[in-house]
Structure 1
Amino acid sequence: MKHLIIYAHPSQQSLNHSIKQSLVNELSVNHEVKVRDLYQLEFNPVLSEQDLQGQRNGQVDPLIQTEQQWITWAECITFIYPTWWAGMPAILKGYIDRVFSYGFAYRYVQGEQQGLLTNKQVVIINTQGKSMAEYEESGMAQAISMTIDRGIMEYCGLTLSDHIYLDRADRADAEQLAHWNLEISERFGLK
């Protein structure tokens, strides 16, 4: 299977980086894997007026075309990122704004919205400081599911295979990390 990992965390010493690297190592044994590290790429997340006009005219910046080619190539897209301020990091949100553009990720036909990224699985792995119980009690878990799982992924036609929440991540030790890596491997069918 062709796996594309879209990764958004600025530190190579982070828990997210460790999780990403472990998944890449395991997937690479039997699958094709490509990583798009948005910070390493210095991806510009700002959707400009020129971007909007280009989308309307079917013209896309060559850097965005490259990202769209990787999305097209992939059979499974995995997003790995921390939850910051109840959402994804700005660089990842900007990636979605610019890359998941009209005519590529979705379109309207006679007033009906159509997702265009069909026949692709998506997995989301995100770390968060609070417990899942706190997220569920406050309604944040439902809000994240609504805005990201449904409002972005399903809207664009992607099939959400899994959304893995790694909670209390700021308190994780080596034993917890090993447990999470095993859980992720199992959920990907690698163990």
Structure 2
Amino acid sequence: MKHLIVYAHPNPKSFNHAILETLQGELLERGHDVRVRDLYKIGFNPVLSSYDFEMLAQGTVPPDIHEEQEHISWADVIITIYPVWWTGLPAMLKGYFDRVLTSGFAYAYGENGPEQLLKGKRGVFFTTQGNPREVYTASHMFDAMKKTTDEGIYAFTGIETIDHIFFTSVPSIDDEKRREYLEEVKSFVHTVF
């Protein structure tokens, strides 16, 4: 199986990076093909510009967008790893989705409304938060975040969300709890793939 990991955290010493390393290692160990797009490392430009609109309107996909679309086209599974900042996606990742999941590539508008052009692909979200699980549960924030990403991005384009895994209280937990979280990542890979 071919996995594209879209990773969006600027700190290579972050817990998000530990998730990335664990996930990539487990998938490779099980014989899967894996590509990683570390958005900060590759210097991805997240700003959707008037140039992008002009090029796309002319039927030309800007080269950096085209490259990312090629990775998405290649993948069977798209796995996204990111920290939740202000109850949403980091600007880098939001910009990635804004620029890469374009009309004509990820979706189109037909006579009967939107058409999903990425059907047949599956997706997973791994996210980290600073607050305790109880805070997000009480405020229904998990549901809101899933609505935005699982439905608003993946389902809209036809990607079937396998799971959205939330790791909470990351800045305040101890290393033992972080190891437990990483074991959850390994268990997920073994169970699902």
TM bin (shorter chain): over 0.9
Structure 2 partner of 1:187: 188
Unaligned stretches of 5+ residues in structure 1: none
Residue 77 of structure 1 corresponds to 78
TM-score by length of 2: 0.95
Q: Secondary structure at the match of 2:171?
A: helix
Q: Structure 2: which amino acid aligns with 1:170?
A: P
Q: What is the CA-CA distance between 1:26 and the residue it aligns to?
A: 1.0
AA aligned opposite 2:58: N
Structure 2: state its 5+ residue gaps. none
Deviation at 1:35, TM superposition (A): 0.3
Percent identity between the two aligned chains: 43
Q: CA deviation at 1:159?
A: 0.4
Distance in 1 separating the partners of 2:32 and 2:174: 29
1:2 is matched by which residue type in structure 2? K
Q: Quick one: distance in 1 between partners of 2:53 and 2:136?
A: 35
Q: Shift of the alpha carbon at 1:14?
A: 0.4
1:17 is matched with 17
- What per-residue deviation string (whole Å, max 9, x for no partner) do you get for residues 88-127 of structure 1? 1100000000000110010011151011111111000000
Runs of 4+ in 1 over 6 A off after TM superposition: none
Letter of the 1:9 partner, please give it.
Answer: H
Matched, 1:37 2:34: no
TM-score with structure 1 setting the length = 0.96
Which residue pairs with 1:60 in the alignment?
61
Q: 2:117 is matched with which residue? A: 116
Q: Secondary structure at the match of 2:17?
A: helix
Q: What is the aligned-residue RMSD (CA, Å)?
A: 1.3
Q: Distance in 2 between matches of 1:58 and 1:105?
A: 15
Q: CA deviation at 1:173?
A: 2.3
1:21 aligned partner, one-letter code: E
Report what 1:92 is aligned to. 93
How many positions carry a matched residue from both structures? Answer: 191
AA in 1 matched with 2:55: G
The AA in structure 2 aligned to 1:113 is P
* Paired position in structure 2 for 1:155: 156
